[in-house]
């Protein structure tokens, strides 16, 4: 289906996730990607708590950064409109007619030269926009609430479990993430 | 977005939302980092609706640490209206601003002497989006004008003006009906209006 896969010149590439529990959160490679200017809790296990971060969240972010680096490659101008499909390992289900839906989507997006990222699945937890799934209605949500100490919902949701990213988009995101290291 | 006199674009929005400042670095979970980049227009993003792919979002897996961040200090609300699928904006209104109905357009018989060019001007009131977001989202849409069998189109993201002199010149003088359309990048006509102009062609002095 996808004729524009780019990652490492291989049609399918499995990227090992970063285990946040094993990270040295004060390593230079992490400090260069995360804002720690307001880090006042360095002695606590999670220096990113100011941002609501958990170590698994940092690991997840680093996993995607690795993917983006692979997609961006050397950052050259060649093939910057090519794109890859990124799927996390917790994909649960696809739309009932996924093949046709995906083919239709690809046909449409290839006429649009402006996009960098297309989120194939998102969820929202406080407002039901566009029939987004309410994660707080899902089984197991109590676990999430306990972990985060409050039931405050994450307004307007998100989701990185499935997205298309263009090479140029990956390079832009990396630049945003890495710029602060020199700031 | 309002395309003003002589095609110079001006913008307004019914509801102009203050824009979030662009923050660099991964300051939240990666999906919100992406959403932030979209919201601040550092990148262009869409979301599929309905979802093509769903996730367990790790909530249902026992023993696995959630990689989601929810709630918490310093969190920012991100309206993902910005990342909707490819649809026209609800509440959007498009109207031909110039030439107005019944306008008299005078062209020189010598086409090389036309100055200034006669431009089509279209006004667009967005449906609640900040004007610059609207403009960016619709940068691949086209303004088209048809006079009889002649049609001209222009991407609004490239140049917000369409010169009319050449197509008005065809077919001689008299009242001509212009059909003006806004067409999405998927060839869907989202607005259409007709205006009539009275074309006169004068001989060179």
pTM of the model: 0.52
CA angle A149, A89, B68 (to 5 degrees): 20
Partner-chain contact B67 A60, CB within 8 Å:
yes
Interatomic CA distance for residues B57 and A135, integer angstroms: 8
Q: Which residue has the tokens 């004007």?
A: B131
Asked if the C-beta of A33 comes within 8 angstroms of chain B's C-beta atoms, the answer is yes
Which ipTM was obtained for this model?
0.72
Q: Which residues of chain B have pLDDT under 70?
A: 1-25, 27-28, 36, 39-41, 49, 56-90, 111-116, 126-140, 157-160, 185-186, 204-205
Q: Where are the domains of chain B?
A: 2-14+86-202
Q: Which residue has the tokens 């979301």?
A: B47
Structure-token pair, residue A88: 């996390």
User: Which CATH number is correct for B2-14+86-202, 2.60.40.10, 2.120.10.30, 3.90.45.10, 2.40.10.220?
Assistant: 2.60.40.10
Partner-chain contact B47 A118, CB within 8 Å:
yes
Sheet strands side by side (includes B189-202): B103-108, B189-202, B174-183, B142-147, B150-155
With beta carbons under 8 A apart, name residues in chain A contacting B80. Answer: 122, 124, 129, 156-158
Partner-chain contact A90 B61, CB within 8 Å:
yes
Asked if the C-beta of A101 comes within 8 angstroms of chain B's C-beta atoms, the answer is yes
DSSP codes joined into one string, A132-149: -EEGGGSTTHHHHHHHTT
CA distances from A38 to A51, B9, B33, B45, B67 (A): 9, 42, 18, 29, 22
In tens digits, chain A (183 residues) has pLDDT values of 333 333 334 578 888 888 877 777 667 777 677 765 444 433 333 333 334 445 677 788 889 999 999 999 988 888 888 999 999 988 878 888 888 888 888 887 787 788 888 888 876 544 333 333 333 333 433 333 333 333 333 444 578 889 999 999 999 999 888 775 333
């Amino acid at each position: 289906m996808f004729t524009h896969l780019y990652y490492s010149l291989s049609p399918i590439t499995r990227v090992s996730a970063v285990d946040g529990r094993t990270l040295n959160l004060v390593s230079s490679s992490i400090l260069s990607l995360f804002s720690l200017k307001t880090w006042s809790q360095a002695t606590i296990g999670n220096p990113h708590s100011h941002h609501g971060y958990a170590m698994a969240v940092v690991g997840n972010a680093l996993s995607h950064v690795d993917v983006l680096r692979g997609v961006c490659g050397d950052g050259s101008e060649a093939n910057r409109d090519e794109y890859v499909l990124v799927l996390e390992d917790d994909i649960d289900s696809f739309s009932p007619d996924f093949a046709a839906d995906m083919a239709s989507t690809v046909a449409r997006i290839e006429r649009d030269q402006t996009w960098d990222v297309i989120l194939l699945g998102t969820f929202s937890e406080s407002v039901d926009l566009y029939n987004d799934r309410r994660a707080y209605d899902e089984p197991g949500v109590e676990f999430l609430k306990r972990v985060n100490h409050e039931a405050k919902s994450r307004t307007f949701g998100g989701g990185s479990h499935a997205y298309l990213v263009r090479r140029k988009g990956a390079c832009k995101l990396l630049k945003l993430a890495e710029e602060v290291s020199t700031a | 977005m309002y395309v003003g006199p002589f095609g110079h674009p001006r913008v307004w929005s019914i509801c102009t939302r203050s824009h979030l400042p662009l923050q660099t670095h991964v300051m939240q979970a990666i999906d919100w980092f992406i959403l932030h980049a979209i919201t601040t227009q550092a990148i262009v993003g869409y979301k599929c609706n309905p979802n093509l792919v769903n996730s367990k979002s790790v909530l249902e897996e026992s023993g696995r640490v959630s990689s989601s961040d929810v709630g918490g200090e310093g969190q920012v609300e991100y309206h993902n209206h910005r990342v909707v699928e490819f649809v026209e904006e609800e509440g959007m209104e498009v109207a031909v601003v110039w030439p107005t109905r019944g306008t008299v357009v005078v062209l020189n018989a010598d086409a090389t002497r036309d100055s200034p060019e006669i431009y089509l001007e279209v006004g667009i009131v967005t449906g609640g989006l900040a004007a610059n977001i609207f403009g960016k989202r619709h940068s691949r849409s086209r303004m088209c004008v048809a006079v009889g069998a002649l049609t001209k189109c222009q991407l609004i993201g490239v140049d917000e003006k369409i010169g009319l002199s050449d197509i008005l010149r065809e077919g001689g003088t008299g009242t001509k009906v212009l059909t003006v359309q806004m067409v999405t990048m998927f060839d869907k006509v989202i607005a259409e209006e007709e205006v009539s102009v009275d074309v006169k062609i004068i001989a060179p002095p």
